[in-house]
Amino acid sequence: MEKLYDIVENFTQYPGVAGFEYMAFDELTKYVKSLNIFDEIGTTPVGSFYGIMRCGKKNAPLILCDAHIDTIGFVVTEVCEGGFLKIANIGGIAAKILPASEVNIYGKETIKGVFVSKPPHLHEANEYDQKMNVVDNYIDTGLPLEKLKSIVRVGTPVGFPCKLQRLLGDNLAGAGFDDRLCGAAIVRALMYLDKKSLNVDVAFQFSGTEETVYTGAMTTAYRLNPDKAIVIDVTHAFVPGAPKAREGVKAGLGGDICLSPHTHRGFTKFAIEVAKKEGIPYQLSSAPGATGTNSNAVQTSRNGIPTLLVSIPLKNMHTMSELVDMKDALDTARFVAAVIKAL
């Protein structure tokens, strides 16, 4: 578990708003190299990072583990008088969480910003009945315009800083767990494996732009050309007020294996049997339509790739305070390792 915490502490600190994944590459590459897991490491023009672990056997099939490296965030649309920044969101974000929240602005240097919160004397009579739009919010940098212009321009990405805070048990709060946490779980899974004893090569792709257009997963899966794929993402853990159909996935009960037309039924059933046999906790969910993950992009790459989707239950997704039970992340890592071993 402590190894997993270490990886999460590293992976969550790099910037990497969708479309700006390259900002994470240098530090990520350095860190991943230090773990000494992969025989080959690279990045792609579409914002993905990958590593390949070879078992050393000739013509060994390749198993791909996918998580996405990009996070939700914002992009500057106007640098304004008074040191304010207008923004647009990248990925789905609820406007209600923004006022007075802290952000990192990844300009020529990284500076701090605070979303403006409307003072009470400017509230309208029906203030809270009105719908808020993310783009109506803007950021205060506290800097004079000229100085701000020398650091930030239209197109500069903005994200929530990840402040990790342990809560009771193994619960951990932070930002960008979607999906850096899953990248960490994959790396942890690979650490369980003795590559010489495997019958397969294993690739880890940390794909770009999942939060927007899935192009990272599509193109990296094409490049790596795997025989099977496991997509690891986060899913909503049940919280009060969530739809009843979501009660099936709760924090603390293990990774969530998803049955969907956008995954491979046979591979999924096989994986469930592996979990049962190994006594690894898991939960089940279904996605009759889109899974909202990279599974479809990976599954439809080249001639089609049998794809399994497993997700780590997460609360407060797409906020500055995403919340995970790290037991679930570790169980998901164990599950991924067990499936790879069983192939």
What is the C-alpha radius of gyration for the chain, rounded to an integer number of angstroms?
21
Q: Which stretch binds another protein (CB under 8 A): 47-55, 183-191, 211-219, 311-319?
A: 311-319
When asked if residue 316 is in the footprint of another protein (CB under 8 A), the reply is yes
When asked if residue 321 is in the footprint of another protein (CB under 8 A), the reply is yes
Min CB(331)–another protein separation in Å: 16
Min CB(105)–another protein separation in Å: 11
Sole binder of another protein in the list 110, 150, 165, 286 (CB under 8 A):
165
Q: Which is nearer to another protein, 39 or 78 (CB)?
A: 78
Closest CA to 134 of 77, 177, 92: 92
Whole-number Å distance between alpha carbons of 90 and 271: 34
Whole-number Å distance between alpha carbons of 90 and 171: 27
Q: Which stretch binds another protein (CB under 8 A): 12-20, 79-87, 181-189, 283-291?
A: 79-87
Min CB(156)–another protein separation in Å: 16
When asked if residue 248 is in the footprint of another protein (CB under 8 A), the reply is no
When asked if residue 164 is in the footprint of another protein (CB under 8 A), the reply is no
When asked if residue 177 is in the footprint of another protein (CB under 8 A), the reply is no
* Residue 43 CA: distances (Å) to CA of 19, 135, 138, 179: 14, 32, 33, 17
Min CB(258)–another protein separation in Å: 15
3-state secondary structure of 325: strand
When asked if residue 122 is in the footprint of another protein (CB under 8 A), the reply is yes
Transcribe 158-179 into DSSP letters.
EE-----EE-STTEEEES-HHH
Whole-number Å distance between alpha carbons of 176 and 28: 15
Residues 286-305 contacting another protein, CB under 8 A: 292
Which backbone phi and psi does 303 adopt, to 5 degrees?
Answer: -90, 10
When asked if residue 142 is in the footprint of another protein (CB under 8 A), the reply is yes
8 A C-beta contact, residue 202 and residue 65 = yes
Burial of 145 (0-12, 13-18, 19+ CB in 10 A): middle
When asked if residue 323 is in the footprint of another protein (CB under 8 A), the reply is yes
Q: Interface residues with another protein (CB under 8 A)?
A: 80-84, 86, 92-102, 112, 114, 116-122, 128-129, 131-133, 138, 140-144, 147, 163, 165-169, 171, 173, 236, 239-243, 246, 252, 292, 315-321, 323, 325
